[in-house]
Amino acid sequence: VLLLLVFAIKAAILPLHFWLPETYSEAPAPVAALFAIMTKVGAYAILRMYTLVYGPELGATADLVQPLLMGAAVVTLVVGMVGILGSDRLGRLAAFAAIGSMGTVLISLSRFDAASTGATLYYVVHSTLAGALLFLVVDLVRERRADGTDGYAPAPPMAGHGMVAALFFAAAIGMAGMPPFSGFLGKLLILDALRDTAGATLAWWAILATSLVAILGFAQGGSAVFWKTAPPAPGGAAAADAAAGPALPALPVAAALALAAAIVALTVLAGPVMDYMAATAAQLYAPDGYIAAVLAAR
């Protein structure tokens, strides 16, 4: 249980998520984008520890971890997605989206069987890419807005408004799990893997209901920042030119487009990727070869 708590802090599982919202929302964009994978390290540690050391076949702990993890994961998912709806700036929205995605990951992971783990691994890859994209877009908003913030208060239209808005809504679709991107496929795989398990009803309701909440939260944030703009300050053509600003910076936009392309590739190649994830999950639950290789090396 102590090990689970340590990994739960890293994975930002409620109530041990206290460090994440402000840390992620205030970090520079490249750092926050890299942080998108850091919470997944906590989930990876849980997966390895409770398949290799305290595996499901170990009678003493077989019924200990799963109920704890499932309950905490559902609460994490609900609070994360409600946090998206309650955010007043895009940075906090992205941070709570990261928390919500971890709830989805851990609901599936808590089953500790090969089918749900394979679906979890696919969704982990997707949520990492989508989360990184969202943080990069938030930074583009901060740099392009006249007031230099990512808050929901009306501001004059930013330079490159259309491109930034398109990238934001692509990231929002991915994080909310809407079609046609891989987030939808990942959630579908998770729901299918949990269909015949105990607690499936709770998991289905939690994932589907919070997906709707996330859609509302992203729509609220996107409409406030990109559609409810304020008129530029008076000053004639010079003020208009200053509000327009220079062209979008090439490197951040290229990085965001590369992440968006990776999400599309993950969607198109879902079959081969899922085959690989299923094989990986099968190996996790048959660790004899891994143990023999390590002990032989010793």
What tens digit of pLDDT does each residue of 101-133 get? 999 999 999 888 888 999 999 999 999 999 999
User: Once rounded to an integer, what is the mean pLDDT over residues 174-196?
Assistant: 90
- Residue 100 CA to residue 12 CA, distance in Å, equals 10
When mean pLDDT is compared across 17-31, 216-230, 264-278, the lowest value belongs to 17-31
pLDDT at 73: 92
**176 CB neighbour count, 10 Å cutoff:** 26
- Give the helix ranges, DSSP H, for the chain: 2-10, 20-26, 29-48, 65-86, 90-109, 114-144, 161-176, 182-193, 200-222, 236-244, 250-268, 270-284, 288-297
Question: Which one is predicted more confidently, 24 or 182?
Answer: 182
142, 25 Cβ separation under 8 angstroms: no
234 pLDDT band (50/70/90 cuts)? low
191: its two tokens: 């729901």
280: its two tokens: 């990986």
- Residue 123 CA to residue 194 CA, distance in Å, equals 14
- Residue 85 CA to residue 152 CA, distance in Å, equals 12
**Using one digit for the tens of pLDDT, what is the confidence trace for 196-217?**
877 788 889 999 999 999 999 9
239 pLDDT band (50/70/90 cuts)? very low
pLDDT at 294: 87
User: Percentage of the chain surpassing pLDDT 70?
Assistant: 92
Residue 165 has pLDDT above 70, yes or no: yes
User: Positive or negative, the Cα torsion across 282, 288, 293, 298?
Assistant: positive
Q: Which residues contact 280 (CB under 8 A, 6 or more apart)?
A: 118, 121
Q: Whole-number mean pLDDT of the chain?
A: 85
User: Percentage of the chain surpassing pLDDT 90?
Assistant: 34
pTM of the model: 0.88
